[in-house]
Structure formats: structure tokens, C-alpha cells
Amino acid sequence: MKMPTITVVVPTFNRLGLLKRTMKSIRNLSPAPDEIVVVDDHSEDVGVVNYLTKIEGINLHINKKNLGDFENMAEGIKLAKSDYVIICQADDLMLPDAIGVYKEKMQVYGSRPGVYITGGFMINELDAVTGKVMPFKNDMYMRPPRCVKEFWNHCWFNLLIGGWTAYRRDVFDRVGFWGRKYGRIGENEMSMKILPRYDVCFIAKPTFAYRVHSAQLGANVPIGEEYARGINESRDSARVLYDFERDQLIIRSFTPYEKQKRVFVRKPLAYFLCVSIFFLSVGNVTRAKKFFDLFMEVYPKPIFSKVTAVIFFQWMVRLGHEYLVNLWLRVRYRDKPIHEIMEQLNWGAV
């Protein structure tokens, strides 16, 4: 069986300091990816292009005008020549053995999966670990129509854009690229197109570090408005669910009882009730009310029922476990950059 090849696509726009950290992590990958494609979305900072043009061994493309994040990612995928593409945003980090983690599984499954997905870490602006991301506890191989059901069973509802997802390149020929129909929630729409149609292989090892930082709000979004934007994006995510609830391949993923109770829509949207309760518990009544109002607006009727209670309990178990694990990570590795503690970050121990 021929070993699939992997291209790492880096869509970038400004943020030279973070870009340098991202590129260093990619250049330090061992084994190296088969190809590195960098697409600059017409950066306003001339230092970005000056920096990129000096790096050897990359396929650099500079857009003649700013296309936007989704469109810029699509440009990178179109330029890629490998069987699979991993998108690493220019403020995130890939862990040193990421390509090896993917290729170890590819020796077993080859190009059968439409996507390979992995775990990863959350980091802050100083590269310090703030949490982990792990959709499933163990390695899993899922085939349609079971993929959607497995994701829903584990309170996980989409394929994340980033280094923890390797897409088979020809998948985009069939389902298209990320669109703007749902605003910034394009990855949710893409997930609903891929999950019921392609095999998915999950690898319970970290390959990626996703950075959460203030600049992600964007130049035109004041710091105090991040929750307002979060409400709008949450409403868009609800629209995705309602629109794809009628997809025949997704319908096949659930039992007649689950379809009757509309678990496909209810389970993700119950998260808003959990968020509301969290804000209430920390004394932020205003934000608690906003998310409760959103829950009441988008959650299917009847709102308060036995099904809702069961789903809410499942959410609280998952979120409670994640909170404790992430708290332990923050306390144990406080303020230490991820590259200094890689040897200690044994995935089985977290």
C-alpha cells in the first residue's frame, strides 16, 4: 500500500511575531511534511512577505488582494499536491512528531479515511498550556453512517479547522470549500457535509497547539464585544443544525427514537444552557441571561423534558471532567512554554 503524502498549508495575514513561531514549529517537524504551502492573504505588514520570501523549501503564494480566512485556506488547498492537507493557522503550533503520528496510522488505513483527526493542546500568547482538546478517549475508526452518531455520543459536533485535522484533498472536490452562508461558522457546515459521507480515523495523540489570544477578535471588534459576537456565532451554529437535520445521510445515523426526540439538534444546543449556568455560578447575571435567552430561542420544543435532562447531565459530566483536567494542566505547568514541557506532556497522563 502506497503511503499517503501530507501537505501542511499555512494561511497567513499580518501577525509576523506569531507567524515566526508557527513556521519554526513546522520547520522543526520530524519527519517533515511532504510539502509546505504558505498563502499570504495580502498582508498589510511588509515584514511578513519579506520574512516568508527568505524561507527555503516552501511553496509561497501571495494573494493579489485580501480574500478572507476561508477563501485563503481554499487557495492553499488548491495549491497542495499531496494526498492529505493539514491547515495550520499562522498563530498556532504543530508538535514535533505530528507528521509521524499521522503517518503511523496511515500505514494501517492508507487513504481510506476522508479525514484523520487527533488531539491537541490549548495555549496562550506566551505558548503556555491552558488546556487540552481530545474529542475521544481512545483511537477510533468510524464509517458512515456511524460517524455522526459517534461524534454526538461524545458531545463533539464538528471537525476542527487546524493541525488536528488532515483532510483528504479530493474530499473538497465533492463537498466544496468553506462557505459564508453561516457567517464565521463555516467549519460546522463543512463537518455536516463530510461526517455522514466519509470514513473518519481518530488518533488519541496530540499533534497540535491552538492559540487563544486577544488579536483573534479582529481589528474591528472591541474587546468588550467578544460575547456579543459569540452569541451571533452560536445562533449561526443553530441554523446549521436545523438545515442539516433533514439530510438523509444524517438521519440514517440515529435510531427512530432519537429522530423523534430530535437528538441531532437538541444535544449540541443544550450546551447554551450549560454556558448560562456557568456564568450564573460566577456571578455574571447579564451574560447568563443572554445565553439562557439564546437557549430558549433556538432549542426545540418542548424545552424542559426528560430528554433535555438526560442530555444536560451528559454535558455536565463531559464539561466537569474537562474543567478538572484543564485546571490540573494549568496548575502543573503554569507559565511554562509548551516546547519546554513536551517530554512531560505524556498524553496518557492527561
Query: What are the pLDDT digits (tens) for 136-177?
Result: 999 999 999 889 999 999 999 999 888 899 999 999 999 999
Contact between 319 and 274 under an 8 Å Cβ cutoff? The reply is yes
* Three-state DSSP class for residue 246: coil
Distance of CA 213 to the CA centre of its chain: 16
Beta carbons within 8 Å of 92's beta carbon, 6+ residues apart: 22, 162, 163, 208, 209, 210, 211
Quickly tell me which residue has 447568563 as its cell: 288
What's the gap between Cα 234 and its chain centre?
A: 15
* Range scoring the smallest mean pLDDT among 89-103, 105-119, 276-290, 325-339: 325-339
How confident is the model at residue 96, as a pLDDT?
A: 93
**pTM of the prediction?**
0.91
Full 3-state SS string of 8-45: EEEEECCCHHHHHHHHHHHHCCCCCCCEEEEEECCCCC
Mean pLDDT of 185-207: 94
Asked if residue 220 has pLDDT above 70, the reply is: no
Sorted by where each begins, the domain ranges of the chain are 105-350
- Per-residue pLDDT of 231-263, as tens digits, reads 999 999 999 999 999 999 999 999 999 999 999
Interval 305-325 mean pLDDT: 95
- Percent of the chain at pLDDT > 90 equals 83
Backbone angles phi, psi at 169, to 5 degrees: -60, -35
The pLDDT of residue 342 is 78
Q: What does the mean pLDDT of the chain come to?
A: 91
As a whole number of angstroms, the distance between CA 113 and CA 84 comes to 10
Confidence of residue 115 (pLDDT cuts 50, 70, 90): very high
Higher pLDDT, 219 or 161: 161
Q: How many C-beta atoms lie closer than 10 Å to residue 68's C-beta?
A: 14
The residues that bridge with 203 in the sheet, in sequence order, are 118
What is residue 334's predicted lDDT score, i.e. its pLDDT? 85
| Total residue count of the chain as it appears in this document | 350
Contact 102, 31 (CB under 8 A): no
| pLDDT of the residue at 219 | 46
Average pLDDT over residues 175-200: 93
Distance CA 36, CA 32 (A): 9
Average pLDDT over residues 117-137: 93
Could you tell me how many helices (H) and strands (E) the chain has, helices first? 14, 10
**pLDDT (tens digit, 9 = 90+) per residue, 64-99?**
999 999 999 999 999 999 999 999 999 999 999 999
